Amino acid sequence: MAAANVFTRPFSVRLMKPFDPALKKGATLDMRSKKRLKCCSYGKSTELCEEWLFDSSQRGGVRNMPFSSPKSWLAHKQEKFFSRCSPRNSGLQSRDSPPKRDTGIANEKDWDIGLLNENVNESGVNEDGTSWYRESGEELGDNGYRCRWTTMGGQCHDGTSEWKETWWEKSDWTGYKELGVEKSGRNAEGDSWWETWKEVLHHDEWSNLARIERSAQKQAKSETEKAGWSETWWEKYDAKGCTEKGAHKYGYLKEQSWWEKWGEHYDGRGSVLKWTDKWAETETGTKWGDKWEERFFVGIGSRHGETWHVYPSGERWSRTWGEEHFGNSKVHKFGKSNRGESWDIIVDEETYYESEPHYGWADVVGDSTQLLSIQPREKPPGVFPEFGSHSLHQQSD
């Protein structure tokens, strides 16, 4: 599967961690060889900035520029594919395009979902031999379940390239509402992609607390480039201010692979948890990564993390670090590495963290007007909804 900006480097790596007291304030260590560790302090923030660039000729590391330039190979292929295969002089034009990396979860307005109000089953062939089809319908089930859907797609005359897109909206008598999209495509060069997006409104069975959840999954692969990537994103919001966000990412290019996971949780009462875990490896046995976590509540909390590297020989380098914030402008900083580094100090430093998400309940409600406007089936008098019903998860693929 393929996408724009598919193969930028997994992570450079540029990692922000507490300043190592072993370095004097304002000092900079910059080793200009291909294999370098760059440490820099930034005034009072006393943070450590590291950049690793491992040369493939030294100890099995990866190249300085392991991946192709930001101008993706797919952009050209996508242009060729759609100029050749998009239906011309027809009422249905190809809407499909490969997903892009690191774009998170789109808002519903970006999808321009337009479900048809009647059942449709139509198809056609264009002058250049490309074919297309469009279908729509409605499915009904128990507990007031209703799913309205539209599917469309097309392919080239020889069948080597095709695209497909499906829209749907679901609802039932519990107040459950769902809006979603799934799209996929492939071309003659062996590139293929798949993407799905969904947002859901539901209510807690006991408290009737309203929740909105959004998610997206994206995949792209190139057979000729021996490369691909996948991402899963999710966001959860409730009317009391609780917010949860996260993502899992994976990619590979020839002999190199990389992973990234991160998450955020705001409980709506001032408690915050954030974490990140990144790592990469090559077929030669080189591995490296970085992870950190922070927890805070009313100005008191902690941060800790680890940066590590494993060489093909099996030798491992690791540095761990931590911070304890007491809420009184005093911070305990400590850490060590397996190369003999260590520090353990208390410094005067203000504590900063984000106690509230930059995008919360009010924002997601404002961006979910189409979801909230879904009309459920009329409920007969005396009929009560069954919470926990699995009927609303029926898929109309």
pLDDT tens column, 297-349: 999 999 999 999 999 999 999 999 999 999 999 999 999 999 999 999 999 99
Q: What are the b/e assignments for 156-188, b being 16+ CB within 10 Å? A: beeeebbbbbbbbbbbbbbebbbbbbbbbbbbe
Cα separation of 169 and 198, whole Å? 10
Residue bearing the bigger pLDDT, 256 or 386: 256
Please report, for residues 190, 199, 213, 278, the alpha-carbon distance to residue 248 in angstroms, rounded to integers and kept in the order given: 25, 18, 17, 10
DSSP for residue 283: T
Cα separation of 250 and 255, whole Å? 14
pLDDT tens column, 343-357: 999 999 999 999 999
pLDDT tens column, 116-146: 888 999 999 988 888 999 999 999 999 999 9
Locus of tokens 């609303």: 392
Cα separation of 278 and 249, whole Å? 9
pTM over 0.85: no
Among 293, 294, 355, 298, residue whose Cα is nearest residue 326: 298
pLDDT of 92 reads 59
pLDDT of 93 reads 56
pLDDT of 95 reads 55
pLDDT exceeds 60 at position 74: no
pLDDT exceeds 50 at position 397: no
pLDDT tens column, 259-275: 999 999 999 999 999 99
Cα separation of 82 and 77, whole Å? 9
Please report, for residues 231, 308, 314, 331, the alpha-carbon distance to residue 322 in angstroms, rounded to integers and kept in the order given: 30, 15, 26, 10
